[in-house]
Structure 1
Amino acid sequence: MGQFKDDAIENRFEQDFDGDAGAGKVWADYAVRGGARMILHVEAEKGLRGSGAAAKFMQSMAEYAREKGLMLFPRCSYAVAWHKRHPDYDDVLA
């Protein structure tokens, strides 16, 4: 699993994955709303779909937000569903 990064120029969080389940990138496009990042869309490259990489990415995103003092506002259905299943990260929700 690669390092999680924030490409602020592109308004995108991304992470590379390489393992038995496949290799590729997972990313989330976001909009900046004050100190919050509105998560508009989460997507995994085709080779990673169904491998659990997107869930690992979401955890990395929540941990990054916690570390940087950012708030996340999930708007896409996947991000909303992931956060409902992981209330231990409610502290990063806007």
Structure 2
Amino acid sequence: MKPEFENIPLVKTDKRFEIDVNGHYAFIDYRETKHQIALIHTEAEPELAGTGAAAAVVEKTLNYIEESGKKLLPFCPYVFAFIKKHPEWKRIVDEKFEGYDKL
């Protein structure tokens, strides 16, 4: 994560994880059960394109999921690609996830 995002807090609403970068948002839509958090869609407002904000919200969200003790279901293609690029995060992916063996 780029240093400029480290001190920006992750906010969890009932529908998404988000960070506010100078009034612009990067966020991930999710669904949560007792034991799992499914990440559905990652998006950053156009003003944040190319800044690393999307990667920052993903990394902050993965940290949150790990700290919660829940397992990750990375349905979002961006999150899936992020984990492929950073395989150390596979440790929080639910082994029952259909694409687990492709990570």
Aligning the two structures, in what range does the TM-score lie when normalised by the shorter sequence?
0.7 to 0.9
- 2:20 alignment partner, one of 8, 16, 21: 16
Identify, as 1 or 2, the structure richer in strand.
1
| Identity percentage of aligned residues | 31
Aligned to 1:60: 60
Across the aligned residues of Structure 1 and Structure 2, the Cα RMSD in angstroms comes to 1.5
Task: Give the whole-Å Cα distance in 2 for the aligned partners of 1:70 and 1:49.
Answer: 30
Q: How do residues 12-91 of structure 1 correspond to structure 2 at under 5 angstroms?
A: 12-18=16-22, 24-91=24-91
5+ long unaligned stretches in structure 2: 95-103
- Are the equivalent residues in 1 in contact too, given 2:10–2:18 (CA < 8 A)? yes
Deviation by residue 1:53-77 (Cα, 9 ceiling, x = unmatched): 1111111111111112122111121
In the comparison of the two structures, how many residue pairs are matched?
88
TM-score w.r.t. the length of structure 2 is 0.76
Structure 1 outlier segments of 4+, above 6 Å = none
Task: Give the whole-Å Cα distance in 1 for the aligned partners of 2:11 and 2:93.
Answer: 19
5+ long unaligned stretches in structure 1: none
Moved more, 83-92 or 28-37: 28-37
Deviation by residue 1:12-58 (Cα, 9 ceiling, x = unmatched): 1111123xxxx511111112244111111000011001111111111
Aligned to 1:92: 92
One-letter amino acid of the structure 1 residue matched with residue 16 of structure 2: R
